[in-house]
Chain A
Amino acid sequence: MNFAVVDWVILFLYLAFSVFIGIRAKRYVEDMEAYFVAGRRVRVALGSATLIATEIGIVTFMYLGEIGYLTGFSCFILGIIGAVAFFIIGKTGFIVSRLRKLKVITIPEFYELRYGKGVRLLGAVILFMGGVLNMGVFLKFDGLFLGEVMGFGVSKSVLFVIMTVMLIIVISYTVLGGMFSVVITDFMQFVVLSFGMFITTFFILKNVSLFDVANAVLNYYGEEGINPVLNPRFGWEFLLWMLIASVTTSGLWQPVTSKSLSSKDEIVGRKIFTYTGLTLAGRYMMPMFWGVCALSVFGPGVNSQIAMPKLIAQVVPTGFLGLLVAGMLAASMSTYSAYLLAWSSVATRDIIQLLFKKELGERSSINMTRVVAVLIGLYLLFFGLFYEIPTTAFQYIAVTGAMYTSGAFGCVAGGLYWKRANSTGAYVALIAGAIGPLAFLVLSLFKDFIPKSLYFLLDVNLSGFLSFILASIGMVVGSILTGGINPPKEVNFEK
């Protein structure tokens, strides 16, 4: 085992402190707006810290490290694309400003305002499915990372124990304190995870020379390791898909958007995106670089999912490992808490409440959200243990995200900026956006039985890219063809 007593002490103190602070935040929860969007009182620096912390977890380190190990420097382009997307949103307020003005809590609420209840229900079901499938692999990757770095190994029983302990800790405070707990613990976790990233980068740079890293990329991957367009895992379709997905996901992904909806006003909401954009290239490239360093140290023959944590276990000395694992756990817990709250609030407010056709009171709504968060936690545990993903973790997360974001982009962007967008267009966009990614996920389970003529459906990049195009065409064609018999609803954004 790599962990010494001092590492355990640091880790235990940190976890205990996190839970204590998170549960204490419960006293600020007075009403529904306080629970779901922290009373809409979040300012720029705090909002940026919580958004950065939400979007960094062990799973992010793992999939970015894996893609760095498999593709060399060429994956660094994804960091630049991500940063550009956040800048575009920050500068223009695209989507987030208007949603904030409407004071909605979840995106499906906007569907009802603009299109009607049916669209809200369908949109919420697709959002919930894409969201929990997307989150389904988080716990497993966390278990792989911690098992490898702490030296326990990565057997199923070890994964089960690590995953269960993490879930219990996060659920306990998210369920009780809602967005207040998420914001307060995210801030603390942001500080600890930044420190953990600094330690890791320092020890890796101390042990691996930049010259060796560059040589390893050129020796093993040649030009493909430098030029993303030539790399067979990427190519121009993937890069274009990522650019579109980054701009749309940034404004539409409920855990991210909820940070802007919690902000003091729409200008603060935009600034949160700009400041986060400044850090985005670094937060992508650092773990990618750790993965590239693992390639330089171990060569290309190691299991790509555990090459990066294996390197960390080798170069970070005892004593610092406790701090590092605390930092990484901080990163993950902040992601889980925000995602659990986001998906459970969508399930409660936009699915359960609509199906039962009666307004839940504020207390019942909060309690129902708590129950759903626990159920999602149980699903994560079993899905993570038994499901094998059909592609790299990065691409799996991108394609499950696209299941929702591609349709949502048509509905939300159309609804906010195009007067002729109507409910028929919204239904077509939501269904067309979900079909490609869903086909990829289902067919991947039966790939031995698929005729060769349908192999193109197993191309993850193509299915993700096509989903955006189909959803946008669906919104435009559906609205234009039925505009006469199904006139669009109007929403006043300036009130």
Chain B
Amino acid sequence: MDRDLAYCSLVDLGRLLDERQVSPVDIVRAVLDRVDRYNDRLASYITVCGDAALAEARAAEQEIGRTRRRRGRLHGLPIAHKDVSLTRGVRTTAHSRCLLEYVPDRDAAHVRRLSEAGMILLGKTNTTEFACGTMDLFGVHRNPWDLGRYAGGSSGGSANALAAGLAVAATGSDTGGSIRVPASFCGIVGLKPTYGRVSRNGLLPLSWSMDHVGPMARTVADCALLLNAMAGHDPDDPTSARAAVPDFTDGLEAGIRGTVLGVPRQHFYEGLDPDVDAALRGALRQLESLGARLEPVDLPLAPHVVGPGGILIMAEAYGLHAADLRQRAADYGTRTRRRILSGACYTSAEYEEAVRIRVAWTRQIVAALEQVDAVVTPTLPHPAFPVETQLAGPPDTSWGTRHFNMSGHPALTVPCGFTAAGLPVGMQLAGRYFDEASLFRIAHAYELATSWHTRRPALEAAAA
């Protein structure tokens, strides 16, 4: 167990709370202390709920003291939400001038569920504007492994806060990879659940058919714990599924002997940065040594999914933003405005064709997942790039992730190594619909056999 509370896992913190070794106030103070020290440099948070979080922590402490038990395994633990999730009484800006003064009068469904589970709102984390563009107002979220590099978008504030000990749990949204990309860049775990698994009610939308909400944490078990509270049918989200919700922490320890993992022949292992390639090859050998069987799988459409996916996202985003763009286009950041405006320019025939490619791709990946339990890929072909690259015009980081927004399959990233320059590398696991449990089991087995998730960025040295 890490001696620093701000770096402990949720599982360990829960144990410490159960044993009365620490109180919720101790945990919140430990994390807030790091937020005070490092948020200026990392730009993790847009809004920090310091006093309110401490008040909530005191209330949790009293409740636990009075009842002699915690409401559940998340009770008394703090969480940070990406600033595209509505939070009652706490401003929700989406990093946009359009919403600078917006204070919602309700919580997003996942915020409410985690709050009902007893979690304490620590603050709202940084994001690219509307999860797709510029970062003009609150700074660019930086990578704690190298402050000159980008944390990844769009849930970069959640990811860099976790990696730097400025949060112990967080949520993010993922329309083309926005949970998995920053999680990979920052060396943490992030899950995009199955489409429909977690309600999007109260999430500021970007693309109705591609948006997902999911958990982010430093360990696989912590992500499973968070999904337990977040998942479930919500009648207020018409795309919410009526799928049964298991306890995702059950079976985590079952191991992966006999598990069949698909290694795509096309796209995902082509053109990789040599250090990423080496990390993935090492991870595949590790998975084999744990008893998994690797099988090549054919996904010939994989190289062609990202472009049509971009048409779907921007056409849908334009639909949502059209009225505001007519009235206040200048309030949008430059890149955000341009990207969303592109959505006005596709024809319905092009949108329909992109949908057809989505269906054809989905059939391919569904067929592959009938042959294997999960597919293993790099999350990105390269490690985090410099902040200057992000500002000048970044590469499309959804190279390996948008595929599973298109198909709706669950996909998780877990740290699987570091480059020679000390930057994290992520491995993506994508599984069958509503089978997040298998992804957790595979990733947990891998995590137990490796130590990548235990490394800490040297922020103190960087600060000196």
Do A and B come from the same complex? no
Q: Which residues of A contact B (CB under 8 A)?
A: none
Q: Which residues of B contact A (CB under 8 A)?
A: none
